[in-house]
Chains A and B, each alone.
Chain A
Amino acid sequence: MTVTPKPTGGVGMNPVANALSIVLLIAIIGAAWILFGGYTLVFKALIAVILGGALVGFGVHFVPVGGAPAAMGQSPGIATGVAMLAAGAGLAGLFGGAFAAHAKLGLVTSVVAGGIGGALMMAITCLFVTLIYTYGMGIPSASGKVKVDPITGDTQAEYKSQGTEGHGLPFSSFAGGVIGGFLGGLGGTLIYYALLKVYEAKLPALLSASASAVVPVAVSLAGIFAIGMFLVNAVLAAYNITGTTEGFHDPKFARFPRAIIATLAASAVCGIVAILVAAL
């Protein structure tokens, strides 16, 4: 029996599944409200983790990834896997955000610093992809999904070489990449910051140690959880895109509501367990 890999992913939404997911999300938030005694630090951290996960899932939809055909100049986008490229950008952003958090700069500054770090990495990567295509391979950028680039108004069809679906990084894909990197870095740093605050507050009592001594443990725990949750949400979003997308101008982008609901619920489950590690 031969089963050829089909690009799966049905179109449309499953209302029952969506409703169940929202119910699950509300149930977990409600349980957390009761468990953690109202609007406390721990509860706020859970909300932050849920939001961060959804931001990651949403941001992955912006990143232009062409997969294997892009490596041959057959389709536009970056020639890497979408989940791992988003992870690379998000983690580079997390690096910068963690630096800012360590310098005690507060939630907003750390999170935005993380976002800018992710956006910067994607900007440099996308720039070099364009430079390679232009100066190294002599191929202009062309999109295969739209007739006219939505941001610059450049026509695309005549710059597409024969037999291909487009190549390179049209400007909208570049912009999409930067936005995706920003949202990924933002979400990842938000998860990290929230968990860090919970662990810094709860671990000293748990381990009978001073607050300053457990900082390395809190940082490391929050870091590995942030990476783990980032990857789960990025892979779920990658399943939604079925592997390749040109960015926000791709018709596949309209699928993002499903991913938002899925990542919200998945982040809620993972988040409450992550918080319970210290708060149990």
Chain B
Amino acid sequence: MTVKVEKIEGGTPHNTIMWAGLLATLVCIYLGAGLNTMFNAFTFSFFGGLAAVAAIIWGSDTIKTLCSYGIGTGVPSVGMISLGSGVIAMLIATRFSWYLAPIVLVIVAVIIGAIIGYMANDVIMMKIPVMRSSMTEVAVIGGLMLMGFAQMATSSYSLVHLVSTQTSLLGLPVAGYGGSFIGASIITVAFILGAIAVQHPFNATLGPSWQQDRMLMLAAECGFLSIIPVAFMSIAYLSVPAVIVSIVVSVAGWFYTYYQYLCLSKRDAAAWLDAKPIREPEGH
């Protein structure tokens, strides 16, 4: 016996969210990289986190579109395939300069995602109408999320910068390669943070009374929640003022979205009871 998922018409169409999400993510990544380069500082790295939040919001709607058709396995597997294909695209994009890398990432992720979507839909014969486009989208989303996390943690997304650390804190030199974003495998944390964050909004709000605005608000909340630990981890790579800015931005964003999500849940719930007994429905 499985949960019935109703495809509710209405709400913002998925294509709108897709283009808005893609645009917002790319703008935030370029803003972060551009401003950091222009001012030769680390303080604008939090834009990478905002890019990841935008990607997560977009991704939650993609997963909702795909899983409404019933894929037979659970929702979390889509999150895994998203990051699994995204990490490969992201790492090849790190070989390019900061203004080319996001474009390369999108192109490579589209190719990888389309091939995986074709495999899933036609070779494995899932035969779901949106399978190919959804797999393509989630690959791009996974890659962009990782790029955003990398930028927020280390202020850059070029391979040379991600595998070596040049900063020294309090006069003590920090490890050369072993302590870097890739060397210390912080990328692994970003990987699994993204995988859970992108599938949680739909997974947690699925049910007969699913509402799109509540899911998207939860997606924003998951995004901000995910970048709080990334802000803490950036303490190994960025200067203290940059870390403080990142933490303030992520915590503030999380507070706001979590409060909004509470309000929306209260709006949608059948009843909001505190220490009351079980209310049996009529006829039971």
Q: Which A residues have a C-beta under 8 Å from some C-beta of B?
A: 1-14, 16-18, 20-21, 24, 68, 81-84, 87, 203, 206-207, 209, 213-214, 216-217, 220-221, 223-225, 227-232, 234-236, 238-240, 242-243, 258-259, 261-263, 265-266, 269-270, 273-274, 276-277, 280
Contacts and interface: CB of A to CB of B under 8 A. Distances in A.
A273 B178 CA distance: 24
A81 B9 contact: no
Contacts of B160: 207
Contacts of A18: 123
Contacts of B253: none
Interface of B: 1-7, 9, 68-74, 76-78, 80-81, 83-85, 87-89, 91-92, 94-95, 108, 111-112, 115-116, 118-120, 122-128, 159-160, 163-164, 176-178, 180, 182-185, 187-188, 191
B42 to A, nearest CB: 22
B164 A207 contact: yes
B259 to A, nearest CB: 33
Contacts of A227: 84, 188, 191
Contacts of A240: 124
A259 B124 CA distance: 6
A197 B81 CA distance: 25
Contact of A224 (B71, B78, B159, B185): B185
B89 A273 contact: yes
> Which of B81, B92, B178 has the most chain A CB atoms closer than 10 A to its own CB?
B81
A10 B127 contact: yes
Contacts of A12: 125
Contacts of B91: 221, 225, 274, 277
Contacts of B68: 3
A1 B7 contact: yes
A280 B119 CA distance: 26
Given A207-B164, A221-B91, A227-B188, A2 B6 contact: yes
A87 B104 CA distance: 29
B77 A235 contact: yes
19 contacts: A5-B72, A8-B70, A9-B72, A13-B125, A21-B123, A83-B77, A207-B160, A213-B176, A217-B183, A220-B184, A225-B87, A229-B84, A230-B84, A231-B84, A232-B81, A236-B81, A258-B125, A273-B88, A273-B108
Contacts of B112: 269-270, 273
A225 B177 contact: no
B177 A274 contact: no
Contacts of B125: 9-14, 258
Nearest to A209: B177
A21 B76 CA distance: 26
Contacts of A234: 80
Contacts of A84: 76-77, 80
Among B7, B85, B127, chain A packs the most CB atoms within 10 A around the CB of B85
Given A213-B177, A227-B191, A262-B124, A220 B92 contact: no
A8 B177 CA distance: 47
A225 to B, nearest CB: 7
Q: Which 6 A-B pairs have the closest CB atoms?
A: A5-B70, A17-B122, A242-B72, A216-B178, A262-B119, A232-B84
Given A223-B188, A232-B81, A239-B73, 16 more contacts: A5-B70, A8-B126, A10-B126, A12-B125, A21-B118, A209-B164, A217-B183, A220-B182, A228-B85, A229-B84, A230-B84, A235-B80, A236-B81, A239-B126, A269-B111, A269-B112
Nearest to B8: A1
A65 to B, nearest CB: 10
Contacts of B176: 209, 213
A276 B115 contact: no
A2 B163 CA distance: 49
Contacts of A206: 159
A41 B184 CA distance: 26
B180 A217 contact: yes
B123 to A, nearest CB: 4
Contacts of A20: 118
B216 to A, nearest CB: 21
Contact of A238 (B77, B87, B116): B77
A239 B72 contact: yes
Contact of A5 (B2, B177, B183): B2
Nearest to A4: B4
Contacts of B191: 224, 227-228
Candidate in A17, A209, A217 with the most chain B CB atoms within 10 angstroms: A217
Contact of B124 (A207, A214, A239, A270): A239
Contacts of A276: 92
A204 B176 CA distance: 13
B95 A280 contact: yes
B240 to A, nearest CB: 26
Contacts of B164: 207, 209
Contacts of B81: 231-232, 235-236
A12 B112 CA distance: 25
A5 B3 CA distance: 8
Given A5-B5, A217-B180, A221-B91, A258 B76 contact: no
